[in-house]
Amino acid sequence: MGRWTRHLEALTQAISGIGATPVAGAPDGDPVVDGPLETDVAGEPPVATTSIEQALMQGMEVTLGDLRATEHGWLYRGSPVMVFAVDVAAVDDVQVRREFFQRIHLTSCCGALEDPGQVVWIGTAREVLAAPGLSAAPHACEYCLAKVNHRGFRGLGPRDRSRVAEALSFHWHVSQYAAEYFPESDASFWRPGAPVQSLPQIAPESAASGSCGFCNWQVPAGREWFVPVERGLALGLSVDACVLCAQQQAMGVLALADDSALEASRMRWLAQTDTGDALDEESGRDWSWVRRQLPLAWHPLCEQLERRLSPPDLFYHFAGYEGVAVLAWPEHRRGIVASEDERAKLPEGWDFWTMRSVLGSLG
């Protein structure tokens, strides 16, 4: 019974239009949910009439062996995907099997998600996920959320855990681990329903410098830190932008190389400090202000620290030293740096941590 039967019954239902029927291999009692995808009866994953990326928005049946695993998730033909509607036939308890079938998985959280032959459904847009056998909208797997510590999940109480699970943002998850999903050195853009694009390839003849319509930074030429409106339209932006503002405003995930993004943030900070703009804003700074100044890669850290500490000084410079603390609390002589190499350039007498080590210590 397996995959052939699943495809045949889904196809029969689509042709006859006679409503829900049980699907062999799905948890007992769960009805088929009609979906917009055409089913390939040759045993291959369903193929949409437009593109693989658009088909993935709602769901596609594959095996785990068809996916490329990263440390914190999966890719299918270059697109980040969630896994859902997993029917583990080896589980005898029908209730457990049905509940597992209703879960959305961000990463491999158990042995059932490590078998390359396991049939699963994959998708990219949580709000429209659909698959035969789903009795309701799938919900986030709390074990996955704990494994990746999604929005500080491990340190939350039961009520806040429920809130984070209900509001699961796949966009946030992908942006948090963008370096795993999009390891290329060029900036790249991805959104559900479209292939990954290198930012320089979008309107390549566009301007290389200009003024950001969000933060007013006069972006210098030569560093690919400027997103002219011709490129921005593909990102859902309607004005010229610097890459930092574009990353936070884009209708999708704009992945930036960590070193380049942090250097852009520091250079923007220095430029705004010279004009007095940053100092004017700093008088009313809070953690949301801090996040606006930094690349998205630093936001998970900020989100966890704001529950414990007051807002820090940014890009703290030490007289006579080359290094910079990205976040610093001078009153406590503590700071957070980008890398171990940076820590070696800073004075003794302070307690310096890297971003990764702090995130690791917080869970």
**Claim to verify: residue 258 and residue 288 sit in the same structural domain:** no
Distance CA 246, CA 174 (A): 16
Residue-number span of the structural domain to which 350 is assigned: 282-363
Tell whether 162 and 18 lie within a shared domain. yes
Q: Among 109, 143, 172, where does a domain finish?
A: 172
Task: Please give the full DSSP string across 166-180, using - where no structure is assigned.
Answer: HT--HHHHHHHTHHH
Q: Is the pTM of this model over 0.85?
A: no
What pLDDT, in 10s, does the model give residues 181-216?
A: 998 778 999 999 999 999 999 999 889 999 999 999
Residue by residue, pLDDT tens for the chain (363 residues) are 333 333 323 323 332 332 333 333 333 333 222 333 333 333 334 444 358 999 999 999 999 999 999 999 999 999 999 999 999 998 889 999 999 999 999 999 999 999 999 999 999 999 999 999 998 999 999 999 999 999 989 989 999 999 999 999 999 999 989 989 998 778 999 999 999 999 999 999 889 999 999 999 999 998 999 999 999 999 999 999 999 999 999 999 999 998 999 999 999 999 988 766 655 555 557 999 999 999 999 998 998 899 889 999 999 999 999 889 999 999 999 999 999 998 889 999 999 999 989 988 876
Q: Are residues 97 and 168 in the same domain?
A: yes
Q: Are residues 113 and 241 in the same domain?
A: no
Whether 177 is covered by a domain: the verdict is: no
DSSP 74-105: EEETTEEEEEE----TT---HHHHHHHHTEEE
Examine the domain organization and report whether 64 and 130 are in the same domain: yes
Q: Within a 10 A sphere around the Cβ of 131, how many other Cβ atoms?
A: 27
Whether 8 maps to a domain, the answer reads yes
AA letter at 77: R
Same domain? 85 vs 130: yes
Q: What pLDDT does 363 receive?
A: 62
306 and 206 share a domain? no
Residue 178 lies in a domain: no
Comparing CA positions, the residue from 274, 309, 302 lying closest to residue 288 is 302
Residues 19 and 154 in one domain: yes
How many domains, the chain?
A: 3
Tokens standing for residue 248: 């936070």
Would you tell me how many other CB atoms lie within 10 Å of the CB of residue 351?
10
Tokens encoding 83: 């896994």
Work out the number of other CB atoms within 10 angstroms of the CB of residue 150: 25
| Same domain, yes or no: 122 and 254 | no
Could you tell me if 260 and 244 lie in one domain?
yes
Residue 180, domain member (yes or no)? no
**Which token pair is 140?**
């986030």
179 found inside a domain = no
Residue 171, sorted as left (phi over 0), alpha (psi -120 to 50) or beta, turns out to be alpha
In the block, tokens 């405003």 appear at: 249
